[in-house]
C-alpha cells in the first residue's frame, strides 16, 4: 500500500516537473514561461519531500519558487513585457479569491502552530544519520549542515567563485556602456 | 558509504588546512585585486599595472604549487576529503599556469581601446582569465565528481564570457552564444551522468566509486549495472565535449575562430588540459574496473578524433581554424595515452608502472602542447597586431579617422607569403611551433608523441598507434603549408604586409605610424613568443627532467587507484 502511494507520488511529481519544464521552453510568453518554471520547482520540492529531505524541500519552495522566481518575473516585466498593465478592474474575481485562499492558508498555519506535532516522531520515521553520537533525521537541517560544512566544505566555498564569475560575466556582456 | 565520524571542531579545523589551497587561494585573491584595481585606476594606468599584477598572481600561485610538491596533502578529513593536492593535481596546475601566463602576455593589444573592442574592462578580462584558471585547478584536484563538475562549470562559465569579450564583433558574440548553449547542454549530460552514477554506486567520491565498481559493479544486486553504464556514458559525453573529442567537437572551430585570439589560446590549452585531468581521474582511475566496457568505445573516439581533426584541418584556409582542428587532432593523441593507461590497469595484476608511464606520457604531452600551441597563437596575435596597425595607419592616411574594423577577418594561410623576408624571427619561431605540432624531431612535440606512442605500443594498441602515425604524416602537410608560404618569395603586389587588398596606401602608411603603435604591447607578445620557442626547443634536453616529474606526479594517482582495486 505504502509502496503504491510512493510510486504514485513520485510519478506525479515527475509529471509535474517534466510537463512544465517542457512548457518553459515551448511557450512564447516569458511570464507564462516563468510561472511554469515555478510549477516545475514545486514538483522538485515534492520529490525532495519524498526523499525525506524536508529542509531541502522547504528551501526549494522558499528560495527557488519564491524569491528567485519573483526576481525573474520582476526582470521580465522591467525588460518591457508588451502586454498592457493590468488595471484595477481586471482583477475582478481574483481579489476576493485571493483573500479567501490567504485566510485558508493562515488558518492552516495557525492550526499547525496550536497542534504542535510531538517532536521526534519524524526522526523515528525516516533513515537517520549519526552525528557525534546523536541520531538525527536524514535530510534534517543538522544532517545537511554537517555534510555541507565538513565533507563538502570545499565545494560549498568554491561555489562562491562560480557565482562571482557569473556576476562579472553578466555585467561584461550585457551592460550597454562600459 | 563511510560512516560519519564525529569530529570535534579542532579536528575539523586541522583537517581543513588552508595551506593546501595555496595556489587556488592566491590566484583567487590576485584575481580579486585585479578586479578591484580595474575599478579604481584610470585606463592608462590599468593597461600597465594589471598585466603585471596578474603575472604576480601567476608567479605566487606557481610558487605555492611548488611548495606543495611531494607533500601529498588533502583538504578535509583524510579519508573523506574531496579535494587533494597530490602531485598529479600540482603538475596540472603548472600546465594551467603556463597557459595563463602566456595568455596574459599576449593579451595587451586586444585590450587596446583603439582596437575598437573593450573599453575599461581590462580588470574583468584578466580577472575572469585567472578565475577560470582557478576552476581548472579545481578539476585537477577534485577527488569527487561534484568537485570535478564544479571546477568544469567554473572554468567554462568564465570562458563563455571571455569568448564573447569582443562585444562589438559579431563573430565573437556568435562564438560566446554557441559555446554557452552547447556547453550548457554538455553540462546537463555531465550532471545527469553524475546523478546516475551516484544512484548506482551510492557515492560521488572517486575512491568509493572505484571500490564499488570493482566489487559490484553497483552497490546492491538489485540495481542494474545498466544504470551505472548509462551514467558513465553520459559522463564521458560531457567530458568529451570539454576536451573537444569527435563527435562532440563541432563547437571547436567556430568558437576558436570567433573568440579573441588570446582567449582562443588560453582555452585551447587550459580547458583541454583540465578535461584530460578529469578524464584521467575518472576513466582509468574511478572506472578502471569496468574498462572492458568503455575501452572499445573510446578507442573508436580516439581514431575518429585524430582522423577527422587532421583531415578537416587540411582544407582550412584560416590559420585560426586550422589550429582549432589541429587541437582536435591533438586531443586524439592524448586520448591514446589515456587508453594506454587503462589497458595497463586492466591487466592482472595491474601493471602500475606501465599505467604510470602512460599517464606521465599524457601529462608530458600536455606540457609540450601547451608550449607549442601557446606559441603558435602568440605568433597569430603578433601578426594580427601588425595587420591592425597597418590597417589603422592606412585608415588614418585615407580618412583621418581612427577606427579599425578590419580585425574581423582571420589571418589566412596565403597572407603569410614571404613573411620570412619581412619578419625573419617571427617566421622562424612559427616554423618551430608548427614543426613541433607536427611532431618533427628536435622539438617538444616529437617527444610528446614518442612517449604516448611508445606506451600505447607497449600495451598492444598496435592499430591505434598505426592510425596515430598515419595521422601524424597527414598533419605534416597542413603544418608545413604555412611554413612553405612563409619562406616562398613574396609575389609582387602581395608585398603590402599581410593585407594585400590595401594596396599602395597601406604600404605607404605602414612605416612610421605602424612602428609607433606596435611599441609597448608587442614587447610582451615578443617575450611570450621567445619564451615559448626557447622552451619548445629546450624541451629536447629538458624532457629528461620534465618526464620524470610527470612520472612522479602520475605515481601518486596510479598507486592510490591500484590499492583501491
Q: Which of A174-178, B80-84, B458-462 has the lowest mean pLDDT?
A: A174-178
Q: Which domain holds residue A62?
A: 1-125
Say yes or no: A178 and A116 in one domain. Answer: no
Give the pLDDT band of residue B196 (cuts 50, 70, 90): very high
Find all residues with CB under 8 Å of B448, minimum gap 6, and list them. B333, B361, B364, B365, B367, B368, B369, B439
pLDDT confidence of residue B339: 93
CB contact under 8 A, B35 and A165: no
For the stretch B6-15, pLDDT in tens is 567 777 777 7
Give the residue with greater pLDDT, B57 vs B493.
B57
Closest by CA position to B444, among listed B547, B553, B528, B354: B547
Averaged pLDDT, B360-389: 91
Identify the pLDDT of residue A17. Answer: 78
Contact A151 B76 (CB under 8 A): yes
A-to-B residue pairs, Cβ atoms closer than 8 angstroms: 82
pLDDT for the residue numbered B10: 77
CB contact residues (below 8 A), chain A span 83-142, against chain B: 129-133
Check residue B509 and give its pLDDT. 39
Say if residue B190's pLDDT is above 50. yes
Cell matching residue B129:
582569465
Nearest to A151 among B80, B150, B158 (CB): B80
Q: CATH number of the domain at A1, please.
A: 1.20.120.1200
Nearest Cα of chain A lies from the Cα of B429 at a distance, in angstroms, of: 35
Q: Name the residue of chain A whose CA is nearest to B124's CA.
A: A168
b/e per residue B358-368 (b: at least 16 CB within 10 A) = bbbbbbbbbbb
Q: What percent of chain A shows pLDDT beyond 70?
A: 75
> What's the pLDDT score for residue B90?
94
| pLDDT value of residue A178 | 66
Segments of B117-200 assigned E as strands: none
A171 neighbourhood in chain B, CB within 8 Å: 124
Where is average pLDDT lowest: A70-74, B185-189, B494-498?
B494-498
- Is B504's pLDDT higher than 60? no
Mean pLDDT of chain A: 77
Q: Could you tell me the three cell numbers for B457?
A: 605500443
Q: In angstroms, rounded to a whole number, what is the distance separating the alpha carbons of residues B375 and B367?
A: 12
Q: Is B134 helix (H, G, I), strand (E, B) or coil?
A: helix
Is residue B349 predicted with pLDDT exceeding 70? no
In order, the DSSP letters of chain A are: -HHHHHHHHHHHHHHHHHHHHHHHHH-S-HHHHHHHHHHHHHHHHHHHHHTT-HHHHHHIIIIIIIIIHHHHHHHHHHTT--SPPP-HHHHTTHHHHHHHHHHHHHHHHHHHHHH-PPTTHHHHHS-EEEETTEEEETTSHHHHHHIIIIITHHHHHHHHHHHHHHHHHHHHHH-S--
Mark whether A101 and A148 lie in a shared domain: no
Contacts of A129 in chain B (CB under 8 A): 4
Backbone angles phi, psi at A131, to 5 degrees: -120, 115
- The total domain count for chain A is 2
Nearest CB among A131, A153, A166 relative to B76 is that of A153
Reported as a single tens digit per residue, the pLDDT across B220-267 is: 888 888 899 999 999 999 999 999 998 999 999 999 999 999 999 999
3-state secondary structure (DSSP) of residue B249: coil
Is A45 in the same domain as A67? yes
Phi, psi for B229 (deg, rounded to 5) = -65, -40
Which pLDDT score is estimated for B259? Answer: 92
The whole-number pLDDT of residue A43 equals 86
Which range, A12-16, A156-160, B486-490, is most confident? A156-160
Q: Which of B475, B534, B320, B323 is nearest to B408 (CA)?
A: B320
The pLDDT value given to residue B348: 64
Based on the domain organization, do A21 and A104 belong to the same domain? yes
| pLDDT of B132 | 96
- Any chain B CB within 8 A of the CB of A151? yes
Report yes or no: A146 at the B interface, CB cutoff 8 Å.
yes
Range B67-90 average pLDDT: 87
> How distant is the Cα of A121 from the closest Cα of chain B, in angstroms?
23
B12 CB near a chain A CB, below 8 Å? yes
Determine the pLDDT at residue B198. 92
Tell me: do A114 and A177 sit in the same domain.
no
Q: What is the ipTM of this complex?
A: 0.84
Read off the pTM. Answer: 0.85
Q: Which residue has the higher pLDDT, B210 or A177?
A: B210
% of chain B exceeding 70 in pLDDT:
86
pLDDT at B30: 96
Residues of A in contact with B7 (CB under 8 A): 150
- Give the single-character DSSP code of B315: T
The β-bridge relationship of strands A134-137 and A128-131 is antiparallel
Helix H, strand E, coil C: the string for B377-439 is HHHHHHHHHHHHHHHHHHHHHHHCCCCCCHHHCCCEHHHHCCHHHHCHHHHHHHHHHHHHHHC
pLDDT band at B405 (very low <50, low <70, confident <90, very high): very low
Mean pLDDT score of chain B: 84
Nearest-CB residue to B160 (from A146, A169, A171): A169
Q: 3-state SS of B510-521?
A: HHHHHHHHCHHH
Residue B144's DSSP bridge partners are B205
Q: Do both A23 and A59 map to the same domain? A: yes
pLDDT > 70? residue A3: no
3-class secondary structure per residue, B325-338: HHHHHHHHHHHHHH
Q: What is the pLDDT of residue B499?
A: 44
pLDDT of residue A124: 43
- Specify whether A10 is located in the same domain as A43: yes
Q: What is the pLDDT of residue B79?
A: 75
Residue B495: the pLDDT is 46
A1 and A80 inside one domain? yes
Q: How confident is the model at residue B112 (pLDDT cuts 50, 70, 90)?
A: low
Q: Among the listed ranges A28-42, B251-265, B529-543, which one has the minimum average pLDDT value? A: A28-42
Amino acid at each position: 500500500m505504502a509502496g503504491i502511494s510512493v510510486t504514485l507520488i513520485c510519478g506525479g511529481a515527475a509529471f509535474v516537473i517534466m510537463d512544465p519544464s517542457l512548457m518553459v521552453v515551448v511557450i512564447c510568453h516569458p511570464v507564462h514561461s516563468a510561472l511554469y518554471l515555478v510549477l516545475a520547482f514545486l514538483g522538485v520540492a515534492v520529490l525532495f519531500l519524498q526523499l525525506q529531505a524536508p529542509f531541502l524541500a522547504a528551501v526549494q519552495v522558499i528560495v527557488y519558487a519564491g524569491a528567485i522566481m519573483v526576481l525573474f518575473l520582476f526582470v521580465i516585466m522591467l525588460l518591457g513585457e508588451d502586454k498592457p498593465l493590468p488595471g484595477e478592474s481586471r482583477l475582478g474575481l481574483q481579489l476576493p479569491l485571493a483573500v479567501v485562499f490567504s485566510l485558508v492558508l493562515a488558518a492552516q498555519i495557525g492550526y499547525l502552530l496550536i497542534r504542535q506535532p510531538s517532536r521526534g516522531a519524524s526522526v523515528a520515521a525516516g533513515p537517520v544519520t549519526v552525528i557525534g553520537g546523536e541520531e538525527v533525521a536524514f535530510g534534517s537541517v543538522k544532517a545537511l549542515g554537517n555534510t555541507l560544512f565538513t565533507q563538502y566544505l570545499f565545494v560549498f566555498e568554491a561555489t562562491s567563485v562560480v557565482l562571482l564569475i557569473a556576476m562579472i560575466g553578466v555585467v561584461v556582456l550585457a551592460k550597454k556602456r562600459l | 558509504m563511510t560512516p560519519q565520524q564525529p569530529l570535534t571542531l579542532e579536528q575539523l579545523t586541522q583537517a581543513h588546512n588552508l595551506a593546501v589551497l595555496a595556489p587556488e587561494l592566491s590566484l583567487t585573491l590576485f584575481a580579486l585585486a585585479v578586479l578591484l584595481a580595474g575599478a579604481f585606476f584610470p585606463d592608462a594606468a590599468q593597461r600597465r599595472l594589471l598585466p603585471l599584477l596578474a603575472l604576480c598572481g601567476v608567479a605566487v600561485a606557481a610558487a605555492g604549487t611548488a611548495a606543495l610538491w611531494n607533500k601529498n596533502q588533502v583538504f578535509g578529513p583524510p579519508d573523506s576529503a574531496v579535494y587533494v593536492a597530490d602531485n598529479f593535481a600540482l603538475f596540472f596546475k603548472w600546465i594551467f599556469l603556463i597557459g595563463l601566463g602566456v595568455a596574459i602576455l599576449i593579451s595587451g593589444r586586444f585590450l587596446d581601446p583603439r582596437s575598437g573592442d573593450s573599453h575599461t574592462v581590462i580588470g574583468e578580462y584578466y580577472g575572469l582569465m585567472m578565475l577560470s584558471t582557478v576552476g581548472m585547478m579545481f578539476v585537477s584536484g577534485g577527488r569527487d565528481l561534484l568537485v570535478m563538475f564544479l571546477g568544469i562549470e567554473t572554468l567554462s562559465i568564465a570562458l563563455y564570457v571571455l569568448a564573447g569579450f569582443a562585444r562589438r564583433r559579431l563573430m565573437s558574440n556568435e562564438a560566446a552564444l554557441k559555446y554557452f548553449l552547447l556547453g550548457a547542454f554538455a553540462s546537463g549530460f555531465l550532471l545527469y551522468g553524475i546523478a546516475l552514477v551516484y544512484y548506482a554506486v551510492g557515492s560521488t567520491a572517486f575512491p568509493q566509486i572505484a571500490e564499488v565498481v570493482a566489487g559490484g559493479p553497483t552497490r546492491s544486486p538489485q540495481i542494474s549495472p545498466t544504470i551505472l553504464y548509462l551514467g558513465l556514458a553520459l559522463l564521458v559525453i560531457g567530458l568529451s565535449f570539454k576536451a573537444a573529442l569527435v563527435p562532440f567537437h563541432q563547437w571547436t572551430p567556430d568558437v576558436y575562430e570567433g573568440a579573441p585570439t588570446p582567449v582562443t589560446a588560453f582555452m585551447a590549452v587550459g580547458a583541454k588540459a583540465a578535461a584530460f585531468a578529469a578524464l584521467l581521474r575518472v576513466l582509468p582511475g574511478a572506472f578502471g574496473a569496468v574498462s572492458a566496457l568503455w575501452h572499445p568505445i573510446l578507442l573508436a573516439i580516439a581514431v575518429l578524433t585524430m582522423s577527422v581533426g587532421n583531415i578537416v584541418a587540411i582544407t582550412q584556409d584560416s590559420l585560426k581554424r586550422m589550429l582549432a582542428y589541429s587541437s582536435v587532432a591533438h586531443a586524439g593523441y592524448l586520448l591514446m595515452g589515456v587508453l594506454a593507461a587503462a589497458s595497463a590497469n586492466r591487466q592482472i595484476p595491474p601493471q602500475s608502472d606501465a599505467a604510470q608511464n602512460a599517464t606521465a606520457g599524457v601529462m608530458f604531452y600536455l606540457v609540450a602542447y601547451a608550449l607549442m600551441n601557446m606559441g603558435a597563437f602568440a605568433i597569430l596575435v603578433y601578426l594580427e597586431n601588425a595587420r591592425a596597425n597597418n590597417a589603422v595607419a592606412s585608415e588614418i592616411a585615407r580618412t583621418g579617422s581612427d577606427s579599425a574594423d578590419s580585425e574581423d577577418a582571420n589571418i589566412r594561410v596565403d597572407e603569410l607569403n614571404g613573411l620570412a623576408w619581412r619578419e625573419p624571427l617571427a617566421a622562424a619561431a612559427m616554423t618551430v611551433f608548427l614543426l613541433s605540432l607536427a611532431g618533427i624531431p628536435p622539438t617538444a612535440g616529437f617527444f610528446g608523441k614518442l612517449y604516448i606512442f611508445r606506451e600505447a605500443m607497449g600495451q598492444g594498441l598496435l592499430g591505434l598507434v598505426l592510425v596515430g602515425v598515419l595521422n601524424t604524416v597527414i598533419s605534416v602537410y597542413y603544418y608545413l603549408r604555412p611554413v612553405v608560404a612563409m619562406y616562398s618569395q613574396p609575389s609582387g603586389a602581395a608585398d603590402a604586409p599581410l593585407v594585400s587588398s590595401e594596396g599602395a596606401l597601406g604600404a605607404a602608411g605602414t612605416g612610421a605610424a605602424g612602428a609607433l603603435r606596435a611599441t609597448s604591447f608587442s614587447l610582451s607578445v615578443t617575450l611570450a613568443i621567445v619564451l615559448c620557442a626557447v622552451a619548445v626547443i629546450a624541451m629536447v634536453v629538458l624532457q629528461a627532467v620534465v618526464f620524470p616529474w610527470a612520472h612522479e606526479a602520475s605515481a601518486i594517482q596510479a598507486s592510490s587507484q591500484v590499492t583501491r582495486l
